[in-house]
């Protein structure tokens, strides 16, 4: 299972890797911006389901200071997971969406059926503080 690590909102319990609450393979009904900006919150349009395919790595702007030049540099981080790649199940289009938007859709119940939390990995395969005893 593809998991989201070091997420901004993660599962409870013993979770030293910070596995998030959104799993790859979850299906959501994405709403446009007008739905969230509407003062009276109109009815959600649940006709176009989107599937979470993957979590993206990314660049952290001004992530490290270069000691020789004294300037801040952008850093490519592999564990960063604040963006997800989604595919439309209706027409096959792909789209990048922020994880916070998916969490908002999950909180509002905009999914066809509730998906379970991602399973936790076998921690014996990782070097975590929980394993060093």
Query: Residue 7 class from Cβ within 10 Å (0-12 exposed, 13-18 middle, 19+ buried)?
Result: buried
For 18-72, the pLDDT digits (tens) are: 788 888 889 999 988 778 777 666 788 888 999 998 888 877 778 789 999 999 9
What is the spatial distance between Cα 43 and Cα 119, in angstroms, rounded to a whole number? 33
β-strands 83-88, 94-98 pairing: antiparallel
What's the pLDDT band for 132 if we cut at 50, 70, 90?
very low
Domain-located, residue 2: no
Query: In which residue are the tokens 């999950």 written?
Result: 106
Domain-located, residue 98: yes
What is the spatial distance between Cα 107 and Cα 7, in angstroms, rounded to a whole number? 16
pLDDT of residue 88: 95
Domain-located, residue 66: yes
Residue 65: give the domain boundaries.
27-125
Q: Structurally, how many domains does the chain consist of?
A: 1
7-11, 27-31, 115-119: which is most confident: 27-31
Domain-located, residue 132: no
Domain-located, residue 49: yes
Tokens for 71, please give them: 């300037």
For 83-112, the pLDDT digits (tens) are: 889 999 999 999 999 888 998 888 888 888
Q: Residue 39: left if φ>0, alpha if ψ -120 to 50, beta else—which one?
A: alpha
pLDDT of residue 133: 44
Domain-located, residue 20: no
Domain-located, residue 1: no
pLDDT of residue 50: 95
Tokens for 11, please give them: 């599962």
Domain-located, residue 105: yes
């Amino acid at each position: 299972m593809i998991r989201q690590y070091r997420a901004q909102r993660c599962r409870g319990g013993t979770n030293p890797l910070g596995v998030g609450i959104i799993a790859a393979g979850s299906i959501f009904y994405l709403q446009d911006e007008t739905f969230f900006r509407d003062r009276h919150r109109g009815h959600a349009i649940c006709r176009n389901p989107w599937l979470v395919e993957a979590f993206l790595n990314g660049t952290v702007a001004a992530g490290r200071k270069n000691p020789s030049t004294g300037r801040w540099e952008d850093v490519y981080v592999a564990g960063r997971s604040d963006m997800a790649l989604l595919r439309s199940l209706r027409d096959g289009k792909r789209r990048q969406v922020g994880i916070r938007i998916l969490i908002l859709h999950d909180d509002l119940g905009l999914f066809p059926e509730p998906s379970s939390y991602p399973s936790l990995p076998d921690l014996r395969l990782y070097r975590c503080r929980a394993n060093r005893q």
